[in-house]
Amino acid sequence: MGCRWAFLIGLLGAMWLLGSGHGGQQAPETAAQRCFCQVSGYLDDCTCDVETIDKFNNYRLFPRLQKLLESDYFRYYKVNLKRPCPFWNDINQCGRRDCAVKPCQSDEVPDGIKSASYKYSEVANNLIEECEQAERLGAVDESLSEETQKAVLQWTKHDDSSDNFCEADDIQSPDAEYVDLLLNPERYTGYKGPDAWKIWNVIYEENCFKPQTIKRPLNPLASGQGKSEENTFYSWLEGLCVEKRAFYRLISGLHASINVHLSARYLLQETWLEKKWGHNITEFQQRFDGILTEGEGPRRLKNLYFLYLIELRALSKVVPFFERPDFQLFTGDKVHDAENKMLLLEILHEVKSFPLHFDENSFFAGDKKEANKLKEDFRLHFRNISRIMDCVGCFKCRLWGKLQIQGLGTALKILFSEKLIANMPESGPSYEFHLTRQEIVSLFNAFGRISTSVKELENFRNLLQNIH
Task: Supply the DSSP string of 262-325, one letter for each residue.
Answer: HHHSEEEEE-SS-EEEE--HHHHHHHH-TTTTTTHHHHHHHHHHHHHHHHHHHHHHTHHHHHST
Q: How confident is the model at residue 366, as a pLDDT?
A: 65
Q: Is 197 labelled as part of a ligand binding site? A: no
Q: How confident is the model at residue 357, as a pLDDT?
A: 86
Condensed to tens digits (0 to 9), the pLDDT of residues 222-237 reads: 444 444 444 555 666 6
List 94, 99, 131, 394, catalytic entry: 394
Q: Is 255 labelled as part of a ligand binding site? A: yes
Q: How many CB atoms lie within 10 A of CB 197?
A: 14
- Of 177 and 26, the structure prediction assigns the larger pLDDT to 177
Q: Is 249 labelled as part of a ligand binding site? A: no
Q: How confident is the model at residue 255, as a pLDDT?
A: 94
Distance CA 60, CA 350 (A): 8
Cα–Cα separations (whole angstroms), residue 289 to 34, 42, 258, 385: 5, 20, 16, 27
The question of whether 37 is a catalytic residue gets the answer: no
Q: Is 187 labelled as part of a ligand binding site? A: yes
Condensed to tens digits (0 to 9), the pLDDT of residues 310-328 reads: 999 999 999 999 999 888 8
Distance CA 236, CA 240 (A): 7
Question: Under a CB-based contact definition with an 8 Å cutoff, are residues 326 and 124 in contact?
Answer: yes
* Mean predicted lDDT score pLDDT of the chain: 79
* Helical ranges in 208-278 per DSSP H: 227-239, 242-264
Q: Name the pLDDT band for 181 (thresholds 50, 70, 90).
A: very high
The question of whether 35 is a catalytic residue gets the answer: no
Distance CA 374, CA 380 (A): 10
Q: Which of 138-147, 278-287, 433-442 has the lowest mean pLDDT?
A: 138-147
Q: Is 434 labelled as part of a ligand binding site? A: no
pLDDT above 60 for 47: yes
Question: Under a CB-based contact definition with an 8 Å cutoff, are residues 155 and 419 in contact?
Answer: no
- Of 418 and 184, the structure prediction assigns the larger pLDDT to 184
Q: Is 97 labelled as part of a ligand binding site? A: no
- Residue partners of 344: CB distance under 8 A and separation at least 6: 68, 322, 329
Q: Name the pLDDT band for 253 (thresholds 50, 70, 90).
A: very high
